[in-house]
Structures are given as structure tokens and as C-alpha cells.
């Protein structure tokens, strides 16, 4: 785990880090987006969390700990937010926020940000990363299958949420419910075949799609990532 000095951090941040470090093996990584530096805490080995999922919980929700890792799509979306679109002054929601990377970057660039995830554990990491990077975030648990949030947003972000066929239509419906009439969604995906089915469902539900092909080159090998812009027809 990368060693980071915590002597000058605020007490809330120190307490949250202590609690998380007692439950997880952690790693903290630095990134630069739009010329600004960020630091993000995540789980060192997300696969180690599989043992924590009971058969009963898996049958109930089929929830895998994807939230615990920072994926190329999240990094690519964060770079896109910092460098290619304007979020200043806009009310923005991220679904499937995981450890909150895109939410933190958007907040640093002037967005009024709500980070959401189905996992309450993910939201603890998102809260830590918001505090660590000195940005203001709102947090809320959100289930794509039953969106209870009544607020509507100017923008919606999501990265790596198109991995289960059963989730595709719920994600489309969640986007439709959460966006204002003139709102825009940006969905980042590593060109999975599942994304093609998602786009078909989105078009059937009155969305137009524009694709922005990107390459993430920060890992062992380059990863192709598409960012899909969804607007209502």
C-alpha cells in the first residue's frame, strides 16, 4: 500500500481512513486530470472481497464488488469531464459511482454533485475521496431497478455499468427518470458487446446517441473505451 502522510488531514478524514483500513487492504493512487492533481483511495485487491459475499446475498442481489476497483472507463470518463465538457454550475448525478472518481473530478470543475451507488461500502470510499480531494459531494444510495430519487439533473455520468444484461433496461429507465427534459447522460464503457444492446434499448426509449471513442493507455496494455452521449430525441 502506498504510504501517505496523514498528520495534517482533518479529523473526519483520519477517522474514516482508520475505519476503512481496519476492514480492507487499501491502496491510494495519484492521478492528474485537466492539469490538476487528485488522490483516490480504493481496495488493493477487489477479488479478495468475493469471500465476503454470502450465497444468500448473492442470490438476492447478484452484486459483485466491482465498486472496489478503479476501472479504465472511470479514468477515461474523468479525463473527459476535466478536459472536454463544461460542468460548472450544473447539477450532476453519477450512478454506479464506486469510489467516486468521476464525481470528485466533476465537483472540482464546478459541478454540484450527487454521487450514488447501490453499495453503501462504495459510498464510504466516495465520501473519503471527496474529503481527501477537498470537494463538496452529496451521497445517496440508489438502486437502478427502483429509482426513488425525485430530483432531476442537468447531467448524468456513469462508468462501467453495462456488464449485466439484466441491468441494461433498468439503467436506461434510471437515466430517463433522473435527467431533466434537456439533460444529457455520458456513459463510459470498454466497448463490451453488452453496450450494443444497451444502445438499442436507449434508442427504443427515445434517446439519440453520439459516441466518443477513446483509448486508455495508463495500464499494462491500452484499453479502448467509448463514451456515449445520450440526449432525448
Residue 78 reports pLDDT greater than 90: yes
Query: In the numeric block, which cell numbers belong to residue 100?
Result: 467516486
CATH class given for the domain over 11-232: alpha beta
Which of 137, 230, 226 is CA-nearest to residue 184?
A: 230
161-181 b/e (C-beta count within 10 Å ≥ 16 → b): bbeeeebbbbbbbbbbebbee
Question: Over the stretch 107-129, which tens digit does the pLDDT of each residue have?
Answer: 999 999 999 999 999 999 999 99
Q: What is d(CA 135, CA 104) in angstroms, rounded to the nearest whole number? A: 7
Residue 75 reports pLDDT greater than 70: yes
Residues 6 or more apart in contact with residue 22 via CB below 8 angstroms: none
Question: Over the stretch 35-64, which tens digit does the pLDDT of each residue have?
Answer: 999 999 999 876 556 565 554 554 445 565
Per-residue pLDDT band at 158 (split at 50, 70, 90):
very high
Q: What is d(CA 35, CA 79) in angstroms, rounded to the nearest whole number? A: 10
Q: What is the pTM of this model?
A: 0.90
Strand boundaries in the chain, DSSP class E: 26-33, 36-43, 91-94, 112-117, 137-141, 153-159, 179-189, 207-216, 223-232
Give 5's DSSP letter. Answer: -
At which residue does the C-alpha cell 477487489 appear? 46
Backbone angles phi, psi at 66, to 5 degrees: -65, -25
Domain boundaries, the chain: 11-232
Amino acid at each position: 500500500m502506498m504510504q501517505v502522510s496523514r498528520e495534517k488531514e482533518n479529523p473526519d478524514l483520519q477517522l474514516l481512513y482508520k475505519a476503512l483500513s481496519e476492514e480492507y487492504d487499501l491502496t491510494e493512487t495519484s492521478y492528474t486530470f485537466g492539469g490538476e492533481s487528485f488522490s483516490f483511495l480504493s481496495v488493493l485487491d477487489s477479488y479478495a472481497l468475493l469471500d465476503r459475499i454470502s450465497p444468500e446475498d448473492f442470490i438476492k442481489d447478484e452484486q459483485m464488488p466491482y465498486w472496489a476497483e478503479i476501472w479504465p472507463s472511470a479514468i477515461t470518463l474523468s479525463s473527459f469531464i476535466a478536459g472536454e465538457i463544461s460542468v460548472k454550475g450544473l447539477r450532476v448525478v453519477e450512478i454506479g459511482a464506486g469510489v467516486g472518481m468521476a464525481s470528485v473530478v466533476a465537483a472540482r470543475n464546478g459541478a454540484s454533485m450527487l454521487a450514488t451507488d447501490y453499495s453503501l461500502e462504495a459510498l464510504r470510499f466516495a465520501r473519503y475521496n471527496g474529503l481527501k480531494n477537498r470537494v463538496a459531494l452529496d451521497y445517496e444510495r440508489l438502486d437502478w431497478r427502483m429509482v426513488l430519487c425525485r430530483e432531476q439533473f442537468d447531467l448524468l455520468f456513469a462508468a462501467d455499468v453495462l456488464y449485466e444484461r439484466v441491468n441494461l433496461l433498468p439503467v436506461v429507465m434510471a437515466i430517463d427518470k433522473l435527467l431533466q427534459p434537456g439533460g444529457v447522460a455520458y456513459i463510459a464503457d470498454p466497448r463490451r458487446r453488452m453496450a450494443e444492446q444497451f444502445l438499442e434499448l436507449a434508442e427504443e426509449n427515445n434517446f439519440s446517441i453520439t459516441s466518443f471513442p477513446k483509448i486508455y493507455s495508463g495500464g499494462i496494455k491500452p484499453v479502448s473505451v467509448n463514451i456515449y452521449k445520450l440526449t432525448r430525441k
